[in-house]
Structure 1
Amino acid sequence: MIDLDTYDFELPKEFIAQKPIKPRDTAKLMILRKKNKIEHKSFYNIIDEFESGDLILLNNSKVIPSRMFGKKETGGKIEILFIKNMEKKYGENIWLVMLRGRGLKKGRKIIINGRNSSISGEIIKRVERAEFLIKSNLDTKVVRDFIKENGIIALPPYIKKPYNNFQMYQTIYSKKEGSIAAPTAGLHFTKELLDNLKKKGVNIGYLTLHVSASSFKPVYGKINKSPLDPEFFSIPKETEKSYNNSVNDNKNIGLVGTTTLKAIESATDKNGLITKNEGYSDLFIYPGYEFHSKVSKFITNFHTPRSPPLLMVSAYLNWERILESYKIAMEKGYRFYSFGDAMLIDI
C-alpha cells in the first residue's frame, strides 16, 4: 500500500510562477540523465535532444471557458466552475460543479449571471469539499450554450493574479475543446520551436485527452479505486501509425506531459503498441505501476504535492530522485507549477 504522505512537500510561495515567461521557450529546462546526472538548459534547447526520425507526441486538447460568477438567492456572491453534465447518472439537467462562497448547502438556490441573461439552479448534493451537484432550471443544450457564451477560463487557484488574456493558458497547438485545465507541459512550445524541430526531421504527432478537474486534485486516504474521473482520449490513425512505426524502428519517442503519457498508456497493449484509438480512461498511475508504452524521453513540469501528475512522474522515475531534483530546482531558482519551468526525464 502506497503511503501518500510521502509525496507531500513544502514549497515556498515565491517559487510558484504567477505568470508565463516570454517567449515561452525561454523557460528553464532541467534534464535528468542516467547515473544521477542533471543538466540545466533553456527549453528551446529541447531541439538538441531529438534526431531526425524521432517522434514527439503532444496533447492538442483546448481549455474550455467554464468559470462564471453569480449569487445565492439571499444575495451572497458565488463563483462557479462547470465540470461536466451528469444527466446520464443522476437525471436531466444535473451538473457537477465547483462552487466557492459561503452558506453553500443542499436546497440552496443560486443564480448565475451572463452578459445578457442568467440561469438558475438548486444545490441537490455536496459531493466532496467544493464539488456539488446542481439541478438547472434549463435543459442541457441551453446551459451548454450559456456556458460557451459567458464562461471564462479557470486558472489554477495558486495563480493569484487576475488575467484577461487567457490565450497564455492555451498551448499554441490547442485545437479540440474539452479540458478544464491546460496540459501545461506543452505551454513551453512556440511555433518557431516546432517548425525548427520539423526542419530537423523530427516527427510531430498529436492526440487528444480532455483534462478533468480530478487530474490535479491532491490525493488523500487509501487507494482502493482510481480517484480520477474518466477522461476522453482520442488518437488519430496517423498518430497511431507514427508511434507504432517508431516503436518497431527503435526510434526515440518523446511524450509531452502527463496527460499525453496517460493517453498512450491507456491505448497500448502489453507490447507497447497502440491498439485502441479512443475511449474514456480513469487510469491512475502511481509508484509500482508497470509501464508498457515505449517512451524514451518524457517532458513534464514541476508538480503540486500529492497530485496525480506528481505520482505519475514518481512512478516513471522514482520519488527519491524526483524529490532531490525539486530541491535542486529551488536552489537554482526554477519556477513551479502551471506557468513554471520544465523537466526532461531522459533515462
Structure 2
Amino acid sequence: MNVEDFDFYLPEELIAQTPLPDRTASRLLVLDRETGETKDLEFVSIIDELKAGDCLVLNDTRVLPARLYGTKEETGASIEVLLIKQTEGNEWETLVKPAKRVKKGTIISFGDGKLIAECIGEADHGGRVLRMKYEGIFHEILDELGEMPLPPYIKETLPDQERYQTVFAKNRGSAAAPTAGLHFTTELLEKIKEKGVQIAFITLHVGIGTFRPVSVDNVEEHEMHAEFYQMNEETARLLQSVKENGGRVVAVGTTSARTLETIVSDHGSYKEASGWTSIFIYPGYEVKGFDALLTNFHLPKSTLVMLVSAVAGKEHVMNAYKHAVEQKYRFFSFGDAMLIR
C-alpha cells in the first residue's frame, strides 16, 4: 500500500487559518461507511445523528503552551523550542530550531532567566533532550512564557489561546489539540446529554507524530511515535454498559479512536488502563473499539487520512474528501467536521 494512494487535491484557501467565532458554527459532512453516501449538515445537527443510549468519547487532554522562545546563553542567538514529552523529572524531549546550534551542554535562557534549559543529549527523532531549571511551579512559568504550538500550516496568530483548547480540556500534556472536540460548547454537550446520550472521557496526550509527515513510500513501513493514554474504571464500565445495551460508542477525534483501539486490542474489552501507544491504523485494520467516528478533515498522505480510510474504506473517504473540496469545506485544525457512521 503506497502513501501516494492517500493523496488528494486541496486548494490552499480551504485551509482554515482562524477558528470561527462560534465553536458550533462549523459544517458537518456525514459519511455512511457502508454505502459511501454523504450529506451536508451544520455541526449542531450532530444531535440528530446521535441516539439515546449512544456514548460520545471525548479526549480531555489539555494543550501545553509548549512553544518557547529563548536565547543561547553563550552567544545570544535566538532559539525556538517545542516541548514534546516530559520523560522524567524536569527532563523533556523537544524539537529545537535551529537544531545545529544546540549541542550537549548548551544553555538556553527563557524570559530573562525565569526558565533555564540545559541540553543533555539528542532525542531519537532528531530533537533534543533538555533539563529545565527554575524556581516556583513549572506550569505557571510555562503559562507565562509559552505560546500555543499551532500546526505549521496555520500562519495566523491566535489572540485567544483558549480557542485552541476544548471546553472540557483538563489533563495537561498535549503538544497539539484533539481538534474534533473543538466544535463542542458546554451548552451543546448539555443538549446532547438531555437526549439520553452518555458522555465519557479518556486521555491521550498528542505528541510529536502530529508534526511529522510520513517519510516512507510503503505505508506498512511507517512507525508511529508513542503517546501516553489513560482510561479510568468509570469510563471503562460506562462503555461496556453502552455496548451491552445496544448503544454505539462514538469516538470524538482520531486520538479517542486510537486510545479505544489500543485498549480493546490489548485487553479484549474496555478496561481501566494507561500506558504508551504507537498503534498505527490503516486500511486492512478491523476496528473493534468504536462504532462511529467524528473527526476533522486531515492532511493529504497523513496517518490520519489512513486511519479514517480504515474506518470507512479508502474509496469512500477519498470520494468524501473530493466532495468536501468541491463544497468548500474548511480543512484541518480550525476547519469543519466529518461524522463517519
Maintained 8 Å contact 2:215/2:222 = no
Q: TM-score, normalised by structure 1?
A: 0.88
Taking structure 1 as reference, are residues 122 and 287 closer, same or farther at Cα in structure 2, changes over 3 Å only?
Answer: same
Aligned partners of 1:239, 1:142: CA distance in 2, in Å? 31
Taking structure 1 as reference, are residues 108 and 330 closer, same or farther at Cα in structure 2, changes over 3 Å only?
Answer: farther
Maintained 8 Å contact 1:228/1:284 = yes
Residues 274-293 of structure 1: matches in 2 within 5 Å?
Answer: 274-293=270-289
**2:119 pairs with 1:119:** no
Maintained 8 Å contact 2:204/2:229 = yes
**Deviation for aligned residue 1:95:** 3.4
Aligned partners of 1:203, 1:120: CA distance in 2, in Å? 44
Aligned partners of 1:37, 1:239: CA distance in 2, in Å? 32
**Deviation for aligned residue 1:189:** 0.6
Which one-letter code corresponds to 1:237 in the other structure?
A: E
**2:337 pairs with 1:336:** no
Aligned to 2:198: 203
Taking structure 1 as reference, are residues 249 and 118 closer, same or farther at Cα in structure 2, changes over 3 Å only?
Answer: closer
Aligned to 2:233: 237
Aligned to 2:303: 308
- Identify the match of residue 178 of structure 1 among 156, 165, 173: 173
Maintained 8 Å contact 2:230/2:275 = yes
In the TM superposition, what whole-angstrom CA distance separates every residue of 1:195-234 from its partner, at most 9, and x where no partner exists? 1111111111111111112145221225666622222211
Aligned to 1:75: 76
In the TM superposition, what whole-angstrom CA distance separates every residue of 1:124-148 from its partner, at most 9, and x where no partner exists? 43744xx422444748998777545
- Identify the match of residue 212 of structure 1 among 183, 207, 210: 207
Aligned to 2:21: 22
Aligned partners of 1:198, 1:184: CA distance in 2, in Å? 21
SS of equivalent residue, structure 1 residue 19: coil
Aligned to 1:54: 54
SS of equivalent residue, structure 1 residue 35: coil
SS of equivalent residue, structure 1 residue 62: strand
Taking structure 1 as reference, are residues 237 and 65 closer, same or farther at Cα in structure 2, changes over 3 Å only?
Answer: same
- Identify the match of residue 246 of structure 2 among 242, 245, 250: 250
Maintained 8 Å contact 1:31/1:343 = yes
SS of equivalent residue, structure 1 residue 264: helix
After superposing on structure 2, the runs of 4+ consecutive aligned residues of structure 1 that deviate more than 6 Å are: 139-145
Which one-letter code corresponds to 1:14 in the other structure?
A: E
Q: Between the two proteins, what is the percent identity of the paired residues?
A: 37
**2:128 pairs with 1:133:** yes
Maintained 8 Å contact 2:151/2:211 = no
Taking structure 1 as reference, are residues 310 and 216 closer, same or farther at Cα in structure 2, changes over 3 Å only?
Answer: farther
Maintained 8 Å contact 1:106/1:126 = no
Aligned to 2:64: 64
Aligned partners of 2:244, 2:206: CA distance in 1, in Å? 30
- Identify the match of residue 255 of structure 2 among 249, 254, 259: 259
Give 5+ residue unaligned stretches, structure 1: none
Q: What is the number of equivalent residue pairs in this alignment?
A: 338
Maintained 8 Å contact 1:67/1:79 = yes
Maintained 8 Å contact 1:216/1:307 = no
Maintained 8 Å contact 2:18/2:158 = no
SS of equivalent residue, structure 1 residue 36: coil
**Deviation for aligned residue 1:77:** 2.0
Aligned to 1:4: 3
Which one-letter code corresponds to 1:36 in the other structure?
A: G
Aligned to 1:153: 148
Aligned partners of 1:168, 1:144: CA distance in 2, in Å? 19
Aligned partners of 2:104, 2:114: CA distance in 1, in Å? 23
More deviation in 251-260 or 336-345? 251-260
**Deviation for aligned residue 1:49:** 0.9
Taking structure 1 as reference, are residues 137 and 62 closer, same or farther at Cα in structure 2, changes over 3 Å only?
Answer: closer
**Deviation for aligned residue 1:160:** 0.6
Give 5+ residue unaligned stretches, structure 2: none
Which one-letter code corresponds to 2:97 in the other structure?
A: R
SS of equivalent residue, structure 1 residue 56: strand
Maintained 8 Å contact 1:32/1:39 = yes
SS of equivalent residue, structure 2 residue 75: coil
Maintained 8 Å contact 2:214/2:222 = no
Aligned partners of 2:295, 2:179: CA distance in 1, in Å? 8
More deviation in 324-333 or 143-152? 143-152
- Identify the match of residue 95 of structure 1 among 88, 92, 95: 92
